[in-house]
Amino acid sequence: MSGSRVVVVADAHLGQVPTAVETAFHRFLDAVPDLGDALLVNGDLFDFWFEYAAVIPRRHFASVAKLAALRARGIPITLVGGNHDRWGGEFLTADLGIAFHGGPAELDLAGRRAFVAHGDGLAEQHRSARLLHRLTRHPLTIRLFRALHPDLGFRLAQRLSGRLADTTRDRAVLDRAAAAQARYARALLERRPELGLVVLAHTHRPALERLPDGRAYLNPGAFLDGCRYAVVTATDIALHTFR
């Protein structure tokens, strides 16, 4: 992502949010070329995304069309999968032209060497969440899910997503997870001085911590909660709210 202004957004959870949030996100995508010259989506763009060989989620047609239109305007898009949408494939990469990473990735963000991960599995506060993180990443689980009829698979995922959301409404739990994420980011920056930036999401808590040497930890917050996003340049990092 060699753009000089990289727009960073995460946790829109399209498909499970109110229509107003989805409409706002579509307007946000329309505005991206005015906000920056590259887009990084750090996970959970969709509340559920899974690619079969010839099937994509129907409910996301309008959002996919907006992403295709943004690519047609020459804006590079990178998607780092989150715990709700890490199962992408050739539709994203070949048909839409999106750079897709199913897990953590090291990217160039406006000239900064950045470690980018959605953050699930790094700071989970519930044992069940840690177990689910491992289970959904396992190759056998993915093969078994792919064998299901898509209608059944998406119905199952929708029920599971609702239960996961119930565990993340506890503000105290989210605060502890956000603090644990910040500790993880600080330790990673201390251990790897070549990194200029660590970008995480998942906790729905915006954060921007700068080290004295100019390196930083960034969490853009959740778009579904106040239309939050961030912009990274070679000289600055800023948290924003889309109006």
**Residue 152: what pLDDT?**
78
* pTM to 2 decimal places: 0.88
* Phi, psi angles (nearest 5°) of residue 158: -65, -40
3-state secondary structure the chain: CCCCEEEEECCCCECCCCHHHHHHHHHHHHHHHHHCCEEEECCCCECCCECCCCCCCHHHHHHHHHHHHHHHCCCCEEEECCCCCCECCHHHHHHCCCEEECCCEEEEECCEEEEECCCCCCCCCCHHHHHHHHHHHCHHHHHHHHCCCHHHHHHHHHHHHHHHHHHCCCHHHHHHHHHHHHHHHHHHHHHCCCCCEEECCCCCCCEEEECCCCCEEEECCCCCCCCEEEEEECCCEEEEECC
- Residue 162 pLDDT: 56
Token pair for 94: 């070949």
Residue 141 · residue 224 · CB < 8 Å? no
> How far is the C-alpha of 70 from the C-alpha of 88, rounded, in Å?
19
Whichever domain contains 101, its CATH number is 3.60.21.10
pLDDT at 61: 93
Q: Tell me, what's the pLDDT at 116?
A: 98
Count of domains observed in the chain = 1
Given this model, what pLDDT does residue 163 score? 53
Task: Give whole-number Cα distances, 70 to 76, 147, 183, in Å.
Answer: 8, 33, 35
| Cα-based angle 217, 222, 223 (whole degrees, multiple of 5) | 125
What is the per-residue pLDDT for 63? Answer: 96
pLDDT of 85 reads 86
pLDDT for the residue 166? 43
Domain that holds residue 173: 5-241
pLDDT < 50 stretches in the chain: 165-167
Q: Give pLDDT tens digits for 31-85.
A: 999 999 999 999 999 988 888 877 788 889 999 999 999 999 999 999 999 988 8
The CB density around residue 241, as the number of other CB atoms within 10 Å, is 11
Please tell me the distance from the alpha carbon of residue 199 to that of residue 184, in angstroms, as a whole number: 11
Q: Which of 173, 226, 187, 178 is nearest to 17 (CA)?
A: 226
- Residue 167: the pLDDT is 47
Q: Are 8 and 40 within 8 A, CB to CB?
A: yes
CA neighbours closer than 13 Å in the CB half-sphere of residue 212: 0
Q: Give me 115's structure tokens.
A: 């470690």
Q: Report the pLDDT value the prediction gives residue 223, as an integer from 0 to 100.
A: 97
